[in-house]
Chain A
């Protein structure tokens, strides 16, 4: 019995235990974030009479300094973080793949110009670049997504270019050319599919980094603006030493969710790398 490609991917993915556990946890987090309006016991921005209350039956994760329910804010904040991570990764991957394909396949002047641009973007101090961009454009969720998307692509572009360079000299590309296939067909149907696996794996790490960057930016006050919640600006309160030492529930839960998200995304990327490649024969 011959199994389908998808079937073999799933089988190999299952082999990676940490990947499977991560996928389950990430799915739960995503589900919770999607269902935030249903699950949240309070309006995330509503102010309750209890300020800085410790976790209790009424507020299971406690409340912040101005009396907002932390659990509700956590759900909505996760939503924002996931959205930022996902969309900015999508943008970065799209730009990176396109530029990498062009640079690798056509070479010459196009390659030269694109690679020098990536070098330029990569040689800026990363966090400073994001901060400056955040300061120039008004801080806010959509701008964060765009900024991260437009800053995270060089890694992917380099990866794709390198892959294209090695793949385009392979015999099966020659075979396609002898088969009379056009350049665009070869680029998108021979070369791109052969480099999807590393792109996906790399994209997961970009997503993890984007989530962390959003948190860092919001923590510094240049990201998602209050009152809207994000995991990063929930940590913002922890800038004060009193909060850090006396009110740990304010930062432990958003911090834990960030760590969990990033670890899960990375493990899934790891498992994907083994699962996607049809020639890995680990059973």
Chain B
């Protein structure tokens, strides 16, 4: 079966006053129908840039230099703005980190959702209104009739997130991109929102790319996981396989640095020393080498993304 979204050899460059900078490099992943792909990594490693680039949302100084992103057979990187508009919103929906900034402050909830329904589904005023009401009910907003008439700032954080989910789902997308959907929320609301997304996923056979740096969330939601580091995907595997048998030293370190409920009082979380290199354009070898505990000879060479076990890819010559 062809995957719903297949990204290959994606390379994104940003131009700045100091010259060109490669932000993501040789990025390849796929999402099957009905599947959730978790995209994890530290801040600044290129997770958001990757999805923004395939949606045509790069800022004006960024551009895709090479690679393709096949969505349902169409290469998103080659579509014109107009053709992209037909895919975005209708077939692909996105949930942002902070709903307060992702909702337009001067329009009511109803007018924001209804506008998309009118544009993509060609619904009339009454039809759009009815569907908006249904959507808000579906995402569990109490008293949707009055919530519809409210402005984003009049809603609570959790409700805003629900509204944004309703908006992303409004036209029945086949792929949902959730960019750190719960980072701005407190834990209880976080759990509720993820439960809601999980339910919707089950009901609609939608696919999802879940971007997060919360390992726990990945374990709970994802089917497959891609770990990103410094603009490259360094390991990709099924979620059980990855947690049981992490091959890349970075993935291992990442897992060791996450707390678990089963931890005893004496467990000391292990931090990864150093930080993501700021400019990794010129590093030819392994980009994690300078922070890696296993680094040795061979790490200075270009690392290929290779399959080590069935469905388990890794970018490390030691694995």
Contacts and interface: CB of A to CB of B under 8 A. Distances in A.
The finding on whether chains A and B are genuine partners in a shared complex, rather than unrelated, reads yes
26 contacts: A2-B149, A2-B150, A5-B108, A170-B101, A171-B97, A172-B101, A172-B102, A172-B103, A175-B164, A177-B56, A178-B88, A178-B93, A178-B94, A179-B89, A179-B116, A179-B167, A180-B88, A180-B116, A181-B115, A181-B119, A185-B119, A190-B104, A193-B104, A194-B104, A194-B106, A278-B151
A242 interface: no
Given A174-B102, A175-B167, A178-B88, 19 more contacts: A2-B149, A108-B60, A171-B97, A174-B57, A174-B94, A175-B96, A177-B56, A179-B88, A179-B116, A180-B85, A180-B87, A180-B88, A180-B90, A193-B104, A193-B107, A194-B105, A194-B106, A278-B153, A281-B153
Nearest to A176: B104
A183 interface: yes
Nearest to A196: B106
B92 interface: yes
Nearest to B85: A180
Interface residues of B, number: 41
A56 interface: no
B242 interface: no
Interface in A128-185: 169-172, 174-183, 185
A226 interface: no
Interface of A: 2, 5, 107-108, 169-172, 174-183, 185, 189-190, 193-194, 196, 278-279, 281
A264 B102 CA distance: 37
A172 B104 contact: yes
A108 B61 CA distance: 11
A181 B116 CA distance: 8
B156 interface: no
A176 B81 CA distance: 13
A279 B103 CA distance: 13
Nearest to A177: B57
B98 interface: yes
A193 B88 contact: no
B22 to A, nearest CB: 22
Contacts of B88: 177-180
Contacts of A107: 60
Interface in B67-104: 81-82, 84-90, 92-94, 96-98, 101-104
B188 interface: no
A111 to B, nearest CB: 11
B63 interface: no
A-B complex: 8 closest residue pairs judged by Cβ atoms: A180-B89, A171-B102, A179-B89, A180-B88, A171-B101, A178-B94, A180-B85, A172-B104
A175 B103 contact: yes
Contacts of A279: 105, 151, 153
B147 to A, nearest CB: 9
